[in-house]
Amino acid sequence: MSIENISVNKSFGGWHKQYSHHSSALNCKMQFAIYLPPQVSSGNKVPVLYWLSGLTCTDENFMQKAGAQRIAAELGIAIVAPDTSPRGDGVANDNAYDLGQGAGFYVNATEMPWSKHYQMYDYVVNELPELIESAFPVSDKRAIAGHSMGGLGALNIGMLNPLRYSSMSAFSPISNPVNCPWGQKAFTTYLGKDKSTWLNYDASELMKQATQFVPAKVDQGESDNFLVEQLKPEALQAAASASGYPLDYQLHEGYDHSYYFIASFIEDHLRFHATHLKK
């Protein structure tokens, strides 16, 4: 699989790099970023944390704003940040920020015209890791994390693939999308009106039914403007209680939905993942 380097920046002894490639799953050109910690210079293969960003984001938001490289360098963890959707001429789009390009919701769309390109679940779970593990000095030890829409994607993907991921975590995830405006709009558009098809992309529904437990950590800001209408963390907590899921959920006073919140607690998440990646 051919990839093209876009940029290279040294950071904390490692390297932040951006690449583009043609995605077969998404039927378009895609871009991703990877942080390779300094340990790879000694010939070591390192584990990978896949980071899924939220609405309107690209691969750049997390890498530039979260401040994760210092701790990733210390822990010897690579970080891979894909884009949040397929993009480009000919890719279906919408004028709203919460649908179309920049808002893939990490699902496999079944409705036209979206199904031609919007196969983000397959891209994140299968195609991207295959590319990363063939092109870079990384192992097949994986963890997954994300923010908001990406937090939802990380939890869903982790629970649907418990043997592929050592751990999963989320900041401010859209916890119960079948019951919030963002989720209802996206799922109706991408998946159709049959709500039974939505359930595999709802973290609370998956956690309620879970029998295999991937270690999970969720942090939520108490002053998040989207907390009540869109995020609904109480549904995720209730689901964990119902199934006995070992969810580490923390509510933080004064924090909002921004990268100020993520930067404040990203070290906790990286250390959480490192513990499980090394088992």
What does the angle CA 211 – CA 213 – CA 219 come to, to the nearest 5 degrees? Answer: 130
Average the pLDDT over 225-248 and give the result.
98
Reported as a single tens digit per residue, the pLDDT across 66-77 is 999 999 999 999
Active site residue 224: yes
- 248 a catalytic residue: no
Residue of 224, 269, 273, 276 with catalytic role: 224
Catalytic residue among 257, 269, 273, 276: 257
Looking at every residue in the chain, the average pLDDT score rounds to 97
pLDDT, position 279? 86
Look-up of token digits 């378009």: 28
Closest by Cα among 90, 93, 114 to 102: 93
- CATH code, 166: 3.40.50.1820
Alpha helices in 41-166 (DSSP H): 60-65, 69-75, 120-122, 128-135, 149-160
Active site residue 264: no
Domain hosting residue 119, numbered range: 3-278
pLDDT in tens, 94-103: 999 999 999 9
Q: Label residues 202-229 b or e (16+ Cβ within 10 Å = b).
A: bbbbbbbebeeebbbbbbbbeebebbee
Number of structural domains, the chain?
1
